[in-house]
């Protein structure tokens, strides 16, 4: 968690039809993918962590919930073969476009994007690193779903391979602020369209099942003025502690489990607002 922002970001859910916020599902998906990138415009520190893990564990790399390639593309440019999977085709389309724009003379097949379901995926034991960044893992609604994801990661790794998962672990003071109040996050210029975009969030914590309903509200105006348009995106996030995550990794069959509190490999402990699981398959 950074500052007062509930650092919960996730890929899109299943496809839907019809209209919402006055725009079609197709336009919503495209805009949400673009605003997701705008949201992470200045975030680089986690990509550096995964490059270090890839250096230690070796190629190829599997990323689950790869979104628009924010992490997968730098990994591929750094020399690793990467297989990026997500459920959201609009996100993947942006990832493929980003790869075309940045790869230069690097072979196109170094990075592949695939639309797929994490729970049905069985890629085989060939990867050195399997990762799930930011808070995508928190979309899993119970331990059964969490273990299914961890099992997918374990089965994808060769002996000695590493699984890495990052989740936010908000403290009691942060959770108290998740009471439905509107919190303005940023006002930015979309470099692709020239539109002025603002992001506001509303988070509601349910203490009974330790979950958060996070609503992200994006509003934009045309470059030369006009009416304000709005897009809302809601995720149901299921919190879990660092200890619980570590226990699940052991239950899933990982032999060595390291819980870090930040991207500098500080051990997780009091005051940590995130946990990064680094679990090795022995």
Q: Residues 177-232: pLDDT tens digits?
A: 999 999 999 999 999 999 999 999 999 999 999 999 999 999 999 988 889 999 99
- Residue 135 falls inside a structural domain: yes
Q: Are 59 and 130 in contact (CB under 8 A)?
A: no
- Residue 219 falls inside a structural domain: yes
Q: Are residues 81 and 216 in the same domain?
A: no
What CATH number has the domain bearing residue 191? 2.20.25
Q: How confident is the model at residue 12 (pLDDT cuts 50, 70, 90)?
A: very low
Q: What does the mean pLDDT of the chain come to? A: 91
Q: How confident is the model at residue 10 (pLDDT cuts 50, 70, 90)?
A: very low
> What is the rounded distance in angstroms from the CA atom of residue 89 to the CA atom of residue 109?
19
The residue segments making up the domain with residue 148 are 45-170+241-280
Q: Read off the pLDDT of residues 188-199 as tens digits, 9 standing for 90 and up.
A: 999 999 999 999
Pairing type for strands 211-221 and 196-206 reads antiparallel
> What is the rounded distance in angstroms from the CA atom of residue 32 to the CA atom of residue 179?
24
Structure tokens at 49: 């962590």
- Residue 233 falls inside a structural domain: yes
pLDDT at 20: 63
What CATH number has the domain bearing residue 85? 3.40.50.150
- Residue 22 falls inside a structural domain: no
- Residue 1 falls inside a structural domain: no
In terms of Cα–Cα distance, which of 200, 194, 226 is closest to 34?
194
Number of domains in the chain: 2
Q: Are 168 and 273 in contact (CB under 8 A)?
A: yes
CA atoms within 13 A on the CB side of 156: 30
Q: Read off the pLDDT of residues 132-172 as tens digits, 9 standing for 90 and up.
A: 999 999 999 999 999 999 999 999 999 999 999 999 999 99
User: Is the model's pLDDT at 102 over the cut of 80?
Assistant: yes
The sign of the CA dihedral 207, 64, 133, 66 is negative
User: Is the model's pLDDT at 120 over the cut of 80?
Assistant: no
């Amino acid at each position: 968690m950074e500052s007062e922002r509930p650092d919960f970001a996730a890929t899109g859910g299943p496809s839907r039809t019809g209209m919402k916020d006055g725009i079609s599902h197709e336009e919503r998906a495209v805009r949400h993918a673009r605003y997701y990138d705008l949201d992470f415009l200045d975030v680089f520190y986690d990509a550096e962590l995964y490059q270090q893990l890839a250096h230690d564990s070796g190629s190829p790399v599997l990323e689950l919930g790869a979104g628009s390639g924010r992490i997968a593309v730098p990994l591929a440019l750094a020399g690793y073969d990467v297989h990026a999977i997500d459920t959201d085709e609009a996100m993947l389309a942006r990832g493929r476009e980003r790869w075309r724009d940045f790869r230069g003379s690097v072979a196109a097949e170094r990075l592949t994007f695939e639309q797929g379901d994490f729970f049905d995926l069985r890629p085989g034991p060939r990867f050195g690193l399997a990762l799930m960044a930011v808070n995508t893992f928190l979309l899993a609604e119970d331990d059964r779903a969490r273990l299914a994801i961890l099992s997918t990661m374990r089965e994808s790794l060769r002996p000695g391979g590493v699984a890495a998962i990052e989740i936010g672990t908000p403290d009691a003071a942060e959770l108290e602020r998740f009471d439905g109040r509107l919190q303005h996050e940023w006002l930015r210029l979309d470099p692709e369209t020239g539109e002025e975009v603002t992001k506001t969030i509303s988070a509601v914590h349910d203490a009974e099942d330790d979950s958060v309903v996070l609503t992200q509200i994006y509003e934009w105006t045309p470059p030369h003025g006009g009416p304000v348009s709005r897009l809302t995106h809601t995720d149901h996030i299921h919190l879990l502690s660092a200890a619980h995550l570590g226990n699940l990794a052991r239950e899933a069959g990982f032999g060595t489990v390291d819980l870090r509190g930040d991207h500098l490999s500080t051990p997780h402990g009091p005051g940590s607002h995130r946990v990064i699981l680094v679990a090795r398959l022995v």
